[in-house]
Structure 1
Amino acid sequence: MAKDSSKEIDLSIETGVQGQYKTWFLDYASYVILERAVPAIEDGLKPVQRRILHAMKEMDDGRFNKVANIIGQSMQYHPHGDASIGDALVNMGQKELLIETQGNWGDINTGDDAAAPRYIEARLSKFALEVAFNAKTTDWQLSYDGRKNEPVTLPMKFPLLLAQGAEGIAVGLSTKILPHNFIELIDASIKALRGKPFELFPDFQTGGQVDVSNYNDGKRGGKVKVRAIIEEVDKKTLVIKSVPYGTTSTSLAESIVKANDQGKIKIKKVTDSTAKDVAIYVDLANGVSPDITINALYAFTDCEVSISPNACVIIEDKPHFISASHLLQASADNTKDLLKRELEIRLSELENKWHYTSLEKIFFEEKIYKELEKKYDTWEIVIEAIDKAFNPFKKRLKRPIEKEDILKLTEKPVRRIYRLDINELNEQIKSIEEEIEGVNYDLAHLTDFAVKYFENLKKKFGKGRERRTEIRTFDNIEARHVVIANTKLYLNRAEGFIGTSLKKDEFLCECSDLDDVIAFTKKGIMKVVKVADKVFIGKDIIYAAVFIKSDDRTTYNMIYADGKSGVSYAKRFNVTAITREKEYDLTKGSDKSKVLYFTANPNGEAEVVKVLLSPSTNARNKEFDYAFELLDIKGRGSMGNQVSKYPVRSIKLKEKGKSTLERKKFWYDDKIGRLNVEEKGQYLGSFENEQLIVIFQDGSYEITDTELTQRFDPEKVMLVEQFNPEKVITAVYLDAEKSILNVKRFKIETTTVHSKFTFIKEGDGNKLYAVTTIEEPILHVQGGTGKQVRTVRFKIGNLVDVMGWKAIGAKLMEFSKSVEMEWELPSEENDQPSLFDA
């Protein structure tokens, strides 16, 4: 029996321990989620942030306090070490919203740490005092040791969580809420209160550019891309003028050095000159294109980063995943409720004040105070007598008279009452009644009151808080298009190997380690492989090159002999998509088939070849020409057209071919500043070897080619079109010094490609207002405001002759900021009267 008993005891102990472990883990997970990592929806704060702000409010006297003292005060409420409090305090201080700082608080651009807490100071900002504190509307709880009260949440009358952002990792979940713009949050809050639709997009202190196409309203599954601003100083130098959110100038420079070491970009050196503003200079290697390098910096370094938002907040003591719009709507509604509570508290205070002031007036005006001069046996009888004396006047009051009201009156010094004192009480009552009326009006029009509150916040604190991050649409940069050729590829034709380590064999080309290689063998086998040290393709390689996916212009011309029948076939085909490492047989598939002739043609060229048959054949013509242009371009698996049923001795090139493809069509996407062939944006035309002209807002032009890796700032580009040196360019520009608009007509006389030339008068503030290549341009100019709006139609050809591209031009009109211009298209018929019509 005893033995059985001991087993039962052991089993109960084991079960208890298991139960405790389950409970402990659940308690720990709940604690981390609720008390450390995830912010509350009511005020957008984590517990440590809330306790810091509460401690600072207790210390607040308008002066700066040492951070070390703030940390000490906060430790009365936060049951963790000073390091966690100090880090949270510095993080809030660097966001420049709730806390004013003094001293070295570090640098978010460089990643430099703040000075020690004993050396730096802080105080609550005026904005924090305005939106975050009201003891009357705060719900309180005991601190961890039960000695003090701390706020459950602060009465936050602003969408702080969306303004500051938040990041935290808890047990089994995480949160990442991106910061948004102060002014835009206020505008969105007003729209939310009015029931109007609104949009919210991130805005970062570090500036830069952001693509919010996939932001997904801040919910899980969304993503934003953030880019540094990179500008071209000259053809040999780039400057990076911002860092993406979450990176620093130091880490960014290190990522550039790493990409250079890996051979993905080619630069001479990186110089981090960041001080107040970010400035990282990148010196380019000789012969390296600035445009391609900019693309490569975005593709291979921290100049572009992707951020995945994940808005998780505590709602009713549970974590919830919601959207940024939901967060803002909840904040706007919470602000409205808090304002209502404040108004109701104020109304109650005013009604109490009106009640007591009215009592005081009656007390003196009706001489009820004389009851105090009568001889009563007890104090209670005196109170009853005063209460009874008020009976005729109780209907004037809004609530019953309480004993405390009478006791308060009796504490007033009994003195001679002058008419002046009564008049003062009347004025006080009138003022209180007006204020009560105002509060009641605000309660009845609570939405308008809340809107006015937000408008006041914007007016008081919005200056200097404009959007810092530019919203742009980014193009997708394919790494293989911009990676520097960082290795050499070699070929052993006979043995059938391709690789970077075959340095004793035939040099094929320079490539990158991201490239694929396409190769063809004499047996008609095609294979695509990754660049590697040594890869086997197949013996007797006849052609190999870097493979370009989706290339529908490179055309392969081939004649092969079928191993079974001996018949020779010709085919033309493209290779746009493949399975890497798979062998493709381009013949009929018979053994002993072999390729007799093969060429790769970048623009679908179709040559003419001379075919020589074997002398021993019975063919009537043993020598004839074969033109590939007679063949259609088909898939790689096609059998091809018969060339001859007789054995072929040799095939030789007779005549080089011309392209059989349509000229390549190009478009300009004015959202991202890129040329493309995907029909996005403005159609530029079909090109073979033609050039483009790009005219910029600063009054310069550039002749360029159709290379797709080029990028232009769309906000600075005014015109992009096919370049024709015979076309006359008509331009209207501002001469800022004289405050006039000049007009000029000229032809391009330069031929240098990829160089900018300024064609307007140089000077600060001078810029292009309108430009066209229309043959007989007519300009519509609208000026003035309101009833003074006036439209004039200029026939530019009648006003100014064609002149040299360096000429200043002729005066068109006086400059006004209200001027708007547009060109009349040649197809339009416009009979509007004009002072300048011919």
Structure 2
Amino acid sequence: MSSDIPQSGPNAAANVDSVRIEDEMEQSYIDYAMSVIAGRALPDVRDGLKPVHRRILYAMHEEGVTSSAGHRKSSSVVGDTMGDYHPHGDSAIYDALARLAQDFSMRAPLVDGQGNFGSVDGDPPAAMRYTEARMSAIAGELLEDIEKDTVDFQSNYDDRLEEPAVLPSAFPNLLVNGSSGIAVGMSTNVPPHNLGEVIDATIHLIENPNCAVEDLMEHVKGPDFPTGAEIVGREAIHSAYTTGRGRVRMRASYETEEAGTHERIVVTELPYQQNKAKLVEHIADLVNDGTLDGVSDLRDESDRDGIRIVIELKQGALVDVVENQLLEHCLEKTFGVINLALVDGEPQVLDLKELLGHYLEHRREVVRRRSEHDLAEAEERAHILSGRLTALENADDVVELIQAADDRDAAKSALSETYDFSERQADHIVRMQLGSLTALEAEEIEAEYGNVEREIERLETILGSDSELDRVITDELRAVKEEYADDRRTRIVEDYGTVTREDLIPDEEVVVVMTENDYIKRMPAANFDPQGRGGKGIIGTKLKDGDRVSSVFRANTHDYLLAFTNRGYVHRLKVYEVPEMGRTARGKSAINLVNLDDGEDITAVVATDDLTEEECLTMVTREGYVKRTCASDFANIHSGGLIATRLEDGDELVDVTVTNDGGDLLIGTEQGMAIRFPKDEAREMGRSARGVNAIKLEGEDAVAGLVAATDDADLLTVTENGYGKRTPMEEYRTQSRYGKGLKDIKTNERNGRVTAIESATAADDLVVMSEGGQIIRTRVGDISTVGRNTMGVKIMTLDDDRVACIDVLGD
């Protein structure tokens, strides 16, 4: 004890305790830490809000600055919040208000702002005197029914007013909008999610309280960031949802565009919380110091419609290499998930089920307290209406009794003694106007009394049944979803360890076109809307003088194809490596994709994803030889290709199809003949075998194509002059191999020779491409079903042109 402390007299301390300074510092630090944790940095698990955000919204609610009101100066909102609820400085409040208005920070913004509230470039909001704000519509759902004693209130900082300890929160805001904050010795970083997915998971938990986290993950696929982009891999998502912690890898979305003689990479979506201006600056630094090769120009063309960062590549630059360098250095970042929130005032790390479970507990309490409040009001109203009905039944006596009373108090006492009215009933009846004694008024009171009685019964049912209370919560959650839910913005792609171009290619159906001079390209199949048969179609590719279309086939961008050539070779083709180009583009040389000799063309393709070891590849040649070869014989194909079949001089491989054991094969010829015979008659052979005779060809006839015959499909035949027909497969009777076959279609001067045959149904689409580059997509169902040996109908109008090839797009 210091001798300077007076022990007596007017300045003596009333009570002095001796404490160790270490103990005092420890306790003071703990008090400070808990103050920061509970009062500033961490969100409440129930409404997902920190105190400053809750106070901003409540202040706006109290001042009537709702979504249905006009905007108000942000400085006014900040002033009301600071003066009444949050005395921590206007800049802190305005920063929090601005974030609530940023659609690139909040998945469901809680403030509707007018003016500059910042940007993805890191620009700060304009001064609060220049901006205006009001609550967003969905923010109103957080405060819905707050006046019905649904949550506890506490005194504000100076005991003048009361503020809510938590908001009623009609949806799980903590998961929808996420939260981040740094407290003393701990931090939180909850990612935003899709509202519809979160509500679906909440309803699933209500209906299945014993479900596992993995069951909830069937609904909540992963974080859904307001800026979109991609999440790479699912392992970190699973960790975050099962343990409350995980490191989610985010990747920018981009696409490659043709720009004359070179290509460009265009970034269209950024990872969450990535500063766009700093990203552009970082890319420029990488180019300048030589880390990033192949870039000739860099521009930020972003506007209000979205992000567009253009990275121009040098002519001849390898796009894949530049993409991988960008991903390694700047287009990917990590979001460290820490699902830390306050549960009953204490910080806890929570898994997905616990997050939703605590919200549900809160929501059940809110609905229960609201129902109790509404029930009390309804019972009070029913009590008053009951008195009014009694008074109306005895209207004359009541009026006479009131007139005979000396004053209002005497009248109330007389009414209570005569009709056993309560004090509230008697006071209400004394104050009634004579106009309320009419018959019409009586009917209205009786109707209202009936409605109130039914409302009381409904509320008592809710309060008496947990399942009924949960049904109310479920219905209200579904209403919020119906009103505010939108589509997922962030895509989840698989993590294959290393980034490949295939990961970044959209999974879509495409049409691949190849010419005799070995130009190749792919185009989205969606670019070609179905047209009525008989039209000219549209330009499908631009050709050099003397070049012609040799093949067209549909595929998926992620397919690995076996490409068979007329010379009897097979090559492995990755569809995503085929350059995507517009309809009027010529394409690019296929030399780096498929090594073809002069005069060698692709005549058939087979997707390897569909193959099993039990299946065979059945091949037919122009001169009528057929054979089946086990699919496993094509497992290892080197860059130069592989022999698929042995050909006689002058013969060519025409078509290849996948077949199983049993069933029939059907072969069509250029002069319109067709033969159907059992598959087993074309025995299985090795790759180097020639095959066996399939059909007897007369004169200059040649095989046009091959299909696996099934009676639930039609045979579609198309001729070189653009005519065709479909005929039920069952009209082609099965016969022995190496016969002349039956007449399929008339090949006269109008039709010309048969170009190809396909197996198709009415639900399929047919793509026809001419040698000159015109393409048409039409519905197979629009092509007449007729018998064998008929003329067919016009499918495509051709001017000095011929059909080069066809393909069928399945339903």
TM-score range, shorter chain: 0.5 to 0.7
Corresponding position of 1:265 = 292
Alpha-carbon separation, structure 2, partners of 1:93 and 1:715: 45
The correspondence of residues 402-421 of structure 1 with structure 2, limited to 5 A, is 402-414=422-434, 417-421=437-441
Alpha-carbon separation, structure 2, partners of 1:372 and 1:469: 74
Give the CA deviation at 1:371.
Answer: 6.1
Give the CA deviation at 1:438.
Answer: 3.9
Give the CA deviation at 1:146.
Answer: 1.6
Larger radius of gyration: 1
Alpha-carbon separation, structure 1, partners of 2:279 and 2:588: 42
Corresponding position of 2:489 = 468
Amino acid at match of 2:337: P
Q: 1:365 to 1:228 in 2, by over 3 A?
A: same
Give the CA deviation at 1:168.
Answer: 0.5
> Aligned to 2:216, what secondary structure does the other structure show?
coil
Alpha-carbon separation, structure 2, partners of 1:229 and 1:469: 10
Corresponding position of 2:186 = 173
The answer (yes or no) to whether the contact 1:694–1:721 under 8 Å persists in 2 is: no
Give the CA deviation at 1:356.
Answer: 0.6
Give the CA deviation at 1:329.
Answer: 2.8
Alpha-carbon separation, structure 2, partners of 1:135 and 1:3: 58
Corresponding position of 1:92 = 100
The answer (yes or no) to whether the contact 1:230–1:294 under 8 Å persists in 2 is: no
> Aligned to 2:226, what secondary structure does the other structure show?
coil
The answer (yes or no) to whether the contact 1:162–1:177 under 8 Å persists in 2 is: yes
Give the CA deviation at 1:376.
Answer: 5.6
> Aligned to 1:116, what secondary structure does the other structure show?
coil
Residues 1:430 and 2:458 aligned together: no
Q: 1:381 to 1:224 in 2, by over 3 A?
A: same
The correspondence of residues 575-724 of structure 1 with structure 2, limited to 5 A, is 697-698=524-525, 717=557, 719-724=559-564
Amino acid at match of 2:182: I
The farther-off stretch of 340-349 and 377-386 is 377-386
> Aligned to 1:328, what secondary structure does the other structure show?
helix
Alpha-carbon separation, structure 1, partners of 2:28 and 2:782: 76
Q: 1:472 to 1:182 in 2, by over 3 A?
A: same
Paired residue for 2:113, among 92, 96, 101?
101
Paired residue for 2:591, among 744, 748, 752?
752
Corresponding position of 2:281 = 254
The answer (yes or no) to whether the contact 2:229–2:490 under 8 Å persists in 1 is: yes
Give the CA deviation at 1:460.
Answer: 1.9
Corresponding position of 1:456 = 479
Extract unaligned runs of 5+ from structure 2. 7-11, 507-517, 528-539, 542-553, 571-586, 595-606, 612-616, 620-655, 660-709, 719-725, 727-753, 757-768, 784-811
The answer (yes or no) to whether the contact 1:157–1:338 under 8 Å persists in 2 is: no
Residues 1:143 and 2:156 aligned together: yes
The answer (yes or no) to whether the contact 1:193–1:333 under 8 Å persists in 2 is: no
Corresponding position of 1:160 = 173
Alpha-carbon separation, structure 1, partners of 2:151 and 2:182: 28
Residues 1:231 and 2:255 aligned together: yes
Paired residue for 1:53, among 42, 49, 57?
57
- C-alpha offsets along residues 352-372 of structure 1, whole Å, 9 cap, x if unaligned? 111111111102322352464
Give the CA deviation at 1:284.
Answer: 2.3
Alpha-carbon separation, structure 2, partners of 1:354 and 1:178: 48
Q: 1:21 to 1:792 in 2, by over 3 A?
A: same
The correspondence of residues 210-221 of structure 1 with structure 2, limited to 5 A, is 210-211=231-232, 212-215=234-237, 216-218=239-241, 219-221=243-245
Corresponding position of 2:360 = 332
> Aligned to 2:202, what secondary structure does the other structure show?
helix
Corresponding position of 2:755 = 801
The answer (yes or no) to whether the contact 2:408–2:430 under 8 Å persists in 1 is: no
The answer (yes or no) to whether the contact 1:132–1:156 under 8 Å persists in 2 is: yes
Amino acid at match of 2:415: I
Amino acid at match of 2:54: R
Q: 1:2 to 1:792 in 2, by over 3 A?
A: closer
| TM-score of the two chains, using structure 2 as the length reference | 0.60
> Aligned to 1:237, what secondary structure does the other structure show?
strand
Paired residue for 1:39, among 32, 39, 43?
43
Give the CA deviation at 1:250.
Answer: 1.0
Corresponding position of 2:338 = 310
Alpha-carbon separation, structure 1, partners of 2:257 and 2:342: 48
Residues 1:275 and 2:295 aligned together: no
Corresponding position of 2:226 = 205
Question: How many aligned residue pairs are there?
Answer: 544
Alpha-carbon separation, structure 1, partners of 2:429 and 2:251: 70
The correspondence of residues 326-365 of structure 1 with structure 2, limited to 5 A, is 326-365=354-393
The answer (yes or no) to whether the contact 2:47–2:142 under 8 Å persists in 1 is: no
Alpha-carbon separation, structure 2, partners of 1:791 and 1:812: 20
Q: 1:380 to 1:286 in 2, by over 3 A?
A: closer
Q: 1:244 to 1:791 in 2, by over 3 A?
A: farther
Give the CA deviation at 1:404.
Answer: 2.9
Corresponding position of 1:20 = 24
Q: 1:247 to 1:386 in 2, by over 3 A?
A: same
Corresponding position of 2:642 = none
Alpha-carbon separation, structure 2, partners of 1:124 and 1:179: 19
Aligned alpha-carbon RMSD (Å): 4.2
- C-alpha offsets along residues 282-335 of structure 1, whole Å, 9 cap, x if unaligned? 12245431011111111111x111111001101111100112332123223422
> Aligned to 1:241, what secondary structure does the other structure show?
strand
Alpha-carbon separation, structure 2, partners of 1:454 and 1:728: 61
Amino acid at match of 1:105: F
> Aligned to 1:230, what secondary structure does the other structure show?
strand
The answer (yes or no) to whether the contact 1:156–1:335 under 8 Å persists in 2 is: yes
The answer (yes or no) to whether the contact 1:695–1:718 under 8 Å persists in 2 is: no
Paired residue for 1:80, among 88, 99, 106?
88
The answer (yes or no) to whether the contact 1:75–1:82 under 8 Å persists in 2 is: yes
| TM-score of the two chains, using structure 1 as the length reference | 0.58
Amino acid at match of 1:64: H
Paired residue for 2:414, among 382, 385, 397?
385
Give the CA deviation at 1:73.
Answer: 0.6
Corresponding position of 1:321 = 349
Q: 1:791 to 1:113 in 2, by over 3 A?
A: farther
Extract unaligned runs of 5+ from structure 1. 392-400, 483-668, 675-690, 703-713, 730-747, 756-767, 780-789, 817-838
Q: 1:421 to 1:331 in 2, by over 3 A?
A: same
Alpha-carbon separation, structure 1, partners of 2:275 and 2:2: 70
Alpha-carbon separation, structure 2, partners of 1:722 and 1:181: 41
Give the CA deviation at 1:723.
Answer: 3.9
- C-alpha offsets along residues 69-123 of structure 1, whole Å, 9 cap, x if unaligned? 1110110211211111011000011135321111222223x33322211111111
Alpha-carbon separation, structure 2, partners of 1:58 and 1:89: 16
- C-alpha offsets along residues 767-813 of structure 1, whole Å, 9 cap, x if unaligned? x9x9999755499xxxxxxxxxx995144578662487746478561
The answer (yes or no) to whether the contact 1:158–1:332 under 8 Å persists in 2 is: no
Residues 1:131 and 2:85 aligned together: no
Give the CA deviation at 1:252.
Answer: 1.5
Alpha-carbon separation, structure 2, partners of 1:128 and 1:354: 34
**Identical aligned residues as a percent:** 26
